[in-house]
Amino acid sequence: MMSNKSNVTSVDPSKYIEPIPSKMRRVGVTLPSTDVTIEKEFYKYLPDSISLHFTRMPLDSVTEEGLEKMSESALDCARLIADMKPDLVVYACTSGTFIKGKAFDEKMKEKIELVTGVPVISMASAVIELLKETNMTKVATYAPYPPSICEKLRDYIQSFDIGICGNYSLGITDDNVSGNLTSENIARFVMDYNTTDSDGIFISCSNLEIIDQLNMLKRVLHKPVFSSNLAVIASILKYFDYPLQYEIFQCCLHENHPLIKKDSNYSRTN
C-alpha cells in the first residue's frame, strides 16, 4: 500500500532566479473601483518596458462625499501596491485629486510617497503639467461629473492662473455610467458645446475612453485637446525619460515641441 506521505526534495532556486531587466520599469496605479478605462488606455499607449500594476480604491459615487470617502482608503491601497516594489506610483483619479484643491493634492502625494518610498504622480498634477506644456491660457473643460464637482475642477485649474472659459457638465454621479460612454459620444459632447473663446480643451475623468478621438477633435476644432489619461501617460513617459510620440500627442503638442520625438516608436505587444 502506498504511503500518503512522500519526501520533499529541496531544490536550490538560485539558478532559476534572474534579476529584473535593467530597462524594465514598474508603475503601481491606484484607481477607483468603478474605473474600466485606465487599464485599457495605459496598456495601449505605454511601452512594454513599463509594467503596470493596479489596485482599487472603493468609490460609491462621484460626489464630494463619495470622493472624500475614497481618498480615505488611498493610503491603504498605496501600502498594498508598495509590496510589489514599484519605481513610481500613480494616484489615478482626476476628481479625487483636485476635489480639495492644490494643497490637499500635494499633501496626499507626500503621504503616498512616505508609504511607498517612491515618487508619486497624481492625475490632477499631471493635468496641470500638460496644460502648461500646451501653453493654454483659456481652457474649456468637459466632464461627466455633476456641476458641483465641475466647479471644483474650475477652481483647481484657476488656482494655477489658467483661465476657464467654458465648463461643461454631464451631471453624472454614477461612475459606471461614465465608463460606459463611447468615445464617439464623448467627442460629440465636446463638438456640440465647442466654445470659440477657448484656446484649448481638456476632457476630465480617468473613466472616459477618449484618447482615440483626440487627434480628430484637434483637426475639427483647430485647437489643442487632451484628456486626463493622456496627461498621466505623458507624465509617466517623462519620468522614465521616454520621448512623447508625435502620433499620439499631436492632439496637444506641436511637432517641434522639445518633448516630442517624431521617429520614436514604442507600443505594447499585447
pLDDT tens-place string over residues 70-96:
999 999 999 999 999 999 999 999 999
Dihedral sign for Cα 104, 110, 113, 115, please. Answer: negative
Domains, the chain, with CATH or none: 25-125+231-261 (3.40.50.12500), 130-227 (3.40.50.12500)
Residue whose C-alpha is closest to residue 70's, from 94, 42, 103, 38: 94
Using an 8 Å Cβ cutoff, are 98 and 152 in contact?
A: yes
pLDDT at site 9: 84
Using an 8 Å Cβ cutoff, are 145 and 95 in contact?
A: yes
Kindly report the pTM of this predicted structure. Answer: 0.91
Residue 154 in this model has a pLDDT that exceeds 90: yes
- Torsions phi, psi of 37, nearest 5? -115, -40
Give the percent of the chain with pLDDT over 90: 87
- Unique residue bearing C-alpha cell 468637459: 142
Q: Which of 8-12, 176-180, 191-195 is predicted least confidently?
A: 8-12
Residue 262 in this model has a pLDDT that exceeds 80: no
Residue 269 in this model has a pLDDT that exceeds 60: no
Q: What is the mean pLDDT of residues 55-69?
A: 94
Provide the pLDDT confidence category of residue 264 given band limits of 50, 70 and 90: low
Cell of 90: 500613480
CA distances from 114 to 27, 107, 206 (A): 16, 11, 24
Q: What is the mean pLDDT of residues 56-63?
A: 95
Residue 1 in this model has a pLDDT that exceeds 90: no
227 or 1: which leads in pLDDT: 227
pLDDT at site 11: 85
Residue 14 in this model has a pLDDT that exceeds 90: no
E strands, the chain, in order: 25-32, 50-57, 88-91, 120-122, 138-143, 163-169, 200-203, 225-227, 244-245, 260-261
